Chains A and B, each alone.
Chain A
């Protein structure tokens, strides 16, 4: 059970990572097409829900972890921050009919790179598990 939960949790984290890479290409001036935006949104959504659900399930499944452990609370806060930063980016990045690059304002760029930072900090938290 532990390994199955861990697999789905890590796979969800890889979906989040893939979404971040695709959104980074949009912010860096890559073409935004309807399918690429849709795939990025699905990866971010599925990855976000998956990491949260399987992460909490893992914490409940393992006797040595508690949901109120500092590193798990930190992960939940970082997850909320990442999703908070991602919402305006998703709204601002709209696909063009011919897939040509669109101008991205500074605020959207800042929000995106903050999302990248929160996701990297989430990974650091998961690896080091401070306080565990």
Chain B
């Protein structure tokens, strides 16, 4: 059996469980961000409040909770695999940290901006999309590119 196969198939069940939670959280985060992006692009083009609201809900109810699941599971995994020490300096882990740390900041900014856009439109604001929707669309696009790089790093594991 090759080293890769041995590592993949001989992980303890505890590690496999958190790996499952980590991937599931990642999939849900990417899915919610994709849904948000489609909704915000639609809102940008049409000024539809229902699409702006969908984008906001996708972030608040989908992306934020699933991001927390992804990040907590990642930290538990690192701990269980003994990779959370200061002496560990692996490129793929550093990429993961960079994407999730900046990702959290972007996620918070995007959620707040989209929430404010919903509030503005609900109060009878202009039909034209607010600047907040446009900025959020850009930030969500950046987040998705970041997660694409993270998926690449987690699978290819560059050193």
Q: Is the interface of B mostly helix, strand, loop or mixed?
A: helix
Return the contact of A3 from the options B13, B38, B156 (Cβ within 8 A). B156
Given contacts A39-B38, A127-B23, contact A21 B1 (CB under 8 A): no
Q: Name the interface residues of A15-41: CB closer than 8 Å to any CB of B.
A: 16-22, 25, 30-31, 33, 35-36, 39
Q: Which residues of B contact A35 (CB under 8 A)?
A: 38, 41-42
Q: Which bucket holds chain B's interface residue count?
A: 35 or more
Check A22–B31 contact: CB distance below 8 A: yes
The stretch of A57-65, A74-82, A84-92, A103-111 in contact with B is: A57-65
Residues of chain A touching chain B, judged by Cβ–Cβ distance below 8 Å, are 2-4, 6-7, 10-11, 13-14, 16-22, 25, 30-31, 33, 35-36, 39, 43, 62-65, 99-100, 120, 123-124, 127-129, 132
Top 5 closest A-B pairs, CB basis?
A21-B31, A17-B27, A18-B31, A64-B5, A7-B155
Known contacts A10-B154, A62-B4, A128-B20; 9 additional CB pairs below 8 A are: A3-B157, A14-B151, A17-B28, A17-B30, A18-B27, A35-B38, A99-B50, A128-B16, A129-B9
